[in-house]
């Protein structure tokens, strides 16, 4: 199949592509609750005659069986929305669910992949192999990729490709560098236990607020004094709860935070230090503590050959001027669970357009995308599968 033909087919489905995106945008669902979203996607697969398996509680593993023997390539799109109130109230397709919004762009991912699926299904008899289609729940909760893998999503798969619409990049720009692209994200919880007392009699109390404040300040040195300054890592305390009244010394302090790292060694080191700092802080002030560390997403690590394939496809189809080299980012994505196991690549597709007001960052209530970027993402999905299976010509 020629690149020009892929482009023509994508354009022929552009109206449906936009309609799907707007439908998904109007009816967002939270992580692992994407019940109606799953039903909508399943109905579309039924129309195309594509076999699939529903995953509990939500999600789909489907497959386009090629007419000729060959490898199997997987394409993945996530489905979940966020507990964010939509502020784009002038949009005809604004969220109809109060407090919920596709503020990260997963509505675009589903519609782009669904469009690519239509193109690939049109030529399935020509395919040298199979295309595994993954509509994944729970990315925002770092649960969905692990669930699909447990359900056999990667069995027999030779490589996987995913995309994320990206607000910081101008519409149509693509980046897909090799190596670590997005950091691992883990969450830690610390509870400091002291002894409550009267604000005028501190000698009879053990101040948990002071313990927490000391901890927040001191843990910043974990990065600045233990991580190579040429590496990237972040410790963030995002939640601090302590005290009940202005003249009461608090006996309890609850902290929650996240860490972002790019190597397993640094991940383990930061976890160890966070625990040690909590133990030392509690002991120093005469209190006690509880510490909990929960591993979230793994590093998204692009395979050299597969990321090179994506960049080559972008150059051939869209032009070298549409490629950008971007540094790794500490933001997290559970696509890393796939690249831990098989070769894969994860691309960012720009969607910023100041003239259309598409200037807001992900997870913001004003977030929106230039819908002209969707056909780029849809085409890239199709091109990757065709090229990997040896079915693409210039």
Domain final residue pick, 240, 274, 297: 297
Q: Among the options 80, 186, 271, 371, which is catalytic?
A: 80
| CATH code assigned at 152 | 3.40.630.10
Q: What is the mean pLDDT of the chain?
A: 97
In-domain check, residue 394: no
Residues 208 and 333 reside in one and the same domain: no
Q: Among the options 107, 139, 177, 371, which is catalytic?
A: 139
| pTM for the full predicted model | 0.94
Rounded Cα–Cα distance for residues 238 and 251 (Å): 20
Given a cut of 90, whether residue 81 has pLDDT beyond it is yes
> How many domains, the chain?
2
- Per DSSP, what are the bridge partners of residue 2? 393
Active site residue 393: no
- Range of 369's domain? 3-183+299-388
Domain final residue pick, 264, 297, 330: 297
Query: What confidence tier does 342 reach under pLDDT thresholds 50, 70, 90?
Result: very high
When pLDDT is averaged across residues 29-45 and rounded to a whole number, the result is 98
In-domain check, residue 393: no
**H-type helices in the chain, by residue range?**
3-12, 14-26, 35-48, 106-122, 144-150, 208-218, 220-226, 264-285, 304-317, 336-339, 374-388
Rounded Cα–Cα distance for residues 276 and 126 (Å): 59
In-domain check, residue 161: yes
| CATH code assigned at 285 | 3.30.70.360
Closest to 212 (Cα-Cα) out of 186, 196, 193, 197: 193
Give the pLDDT confidence score for residue 109 in this predicted structure. 98
Residues 143 and 198 reside in one and the same domain: no
Residue 287 backbone dihedrals phi, psi, to 5 degrees: -110, -165
Those residues whose C-beta lies under 8 Å from the C-beta of residue 260, and which sit 6 or more positions away, are 183, 184, 185, 232, 233, 234, 236, 330, 331, 332
Rounded Cα–Cα distance for residues 369 and 119 (Å): 23
In-domain check, residue 143: yes
Residues 203 and 232 reside in one and the same domain: yes
Residues 159 and 47 reside in one and the same domain: yes
Query: What confidence tier does 89 reach under pLDDT thresholds 50, 70, 90?
Result: confident
Evaluate the CA torsion angle 174, 355, 116, 84 in order and state its sign: positive
The pair of structure tokens assigned to 285 is: 């002030």
pLDDT in tens, 190-200: 999 999 999 99
Rounded Cα–Cα distance for residues 367 and 101 (Å): 9
Residues 63 and 156 reside in one and the same domain: yes
Rounded Cα–Cα distance for residues 375 and 369 (Å): 12
In-domain check, residue 285: yes
Residues 166 and 200 reside in one and the same domain: no
Active site residue 256: no
Give the pLDDT confidence score for residue 202 in this predicted structure. 97
Give the pLDDT confidence score for residue 317 in this predicted structure. 97
- Per DSSP, what are the bridge partners of residue 128? 68
């Amino acid at each position: 199949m020629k690149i020009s033909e892929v482009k023509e087919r994508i354009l022929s489905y552009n109206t449906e592509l936009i309609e799907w995106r707007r439908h998904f945008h109007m009816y967002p669902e939270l992580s692992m609750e994407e019940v109606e979203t799953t039903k909508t996607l399943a109905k579309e697969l039924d129309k195309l005659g594509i076999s699939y398996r529903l995953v509990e509680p939500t999600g789909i593993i489907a497959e386009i069986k090629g007419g000729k023997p060959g490898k199997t390539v997987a394409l993945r799109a996530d489905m979940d929305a966020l507990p964010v109130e939509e502020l784009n109230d002038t949009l005809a397709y604004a969220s109809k669910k109060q407090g919920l919004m596709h503020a990260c762009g997963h509505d675009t991912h589903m519609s782009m992949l669904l469009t690519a699926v239509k193109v690939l299904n049109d030529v399935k008899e020509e395919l040298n192999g199979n295309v595994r289609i993954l509509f994944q729940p729970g990315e925002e909760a770092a649960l969905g990729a692990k669930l699909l893998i447990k359900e056999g999503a990667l069995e027999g798969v030779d490589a996987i490709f995913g995309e994320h619409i990206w607000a910081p990049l101008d519409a149509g720009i693509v980046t897909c560098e090799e190596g670590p692209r997005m950091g691992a994200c883990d969450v830690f919880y610390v509870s400091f236990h002291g002894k409550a007392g009267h604000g005028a009699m501190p000698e009879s109390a053990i101040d948990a607020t002071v313990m927490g404040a000391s901890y927040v300040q001191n843990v910043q040195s974990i990065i600045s004094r233990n991580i190579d300054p040429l590496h990237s890592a972040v410790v963030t305390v995002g939640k601090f709860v302590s005290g009940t009244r202005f003249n009461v010394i608090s006996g309890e302090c609850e902290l929650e935070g996240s860490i972002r790292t790019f190597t397993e060694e640094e991940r383990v080191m930061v976890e160890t230090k966070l625990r040690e700092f909590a133990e030392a802080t509690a002991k120093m002030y005469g209190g006690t503590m509880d510490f909990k560390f929960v591993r979230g997403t793994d590093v998204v690590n692009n395979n050299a050959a597969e990321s090179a394939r994506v960049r080559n496809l972008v150059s051939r189809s869209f032009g070298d001027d549409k490629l950008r080299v971007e540094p790794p980012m500490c933001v997290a994505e559970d696509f890393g669970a796939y690249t831990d196991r098989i070769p894969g690549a994860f691309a960012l597709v720009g969607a910023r357009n100041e003239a259309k007001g598409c200037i807001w960052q992900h997870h913001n209530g004003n977030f929106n995308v230039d819908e002209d970027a969707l056909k780029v993402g849809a085409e890239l999905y199709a091109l990757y599968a065709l090229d990997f299976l040896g079915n693409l010509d210039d």
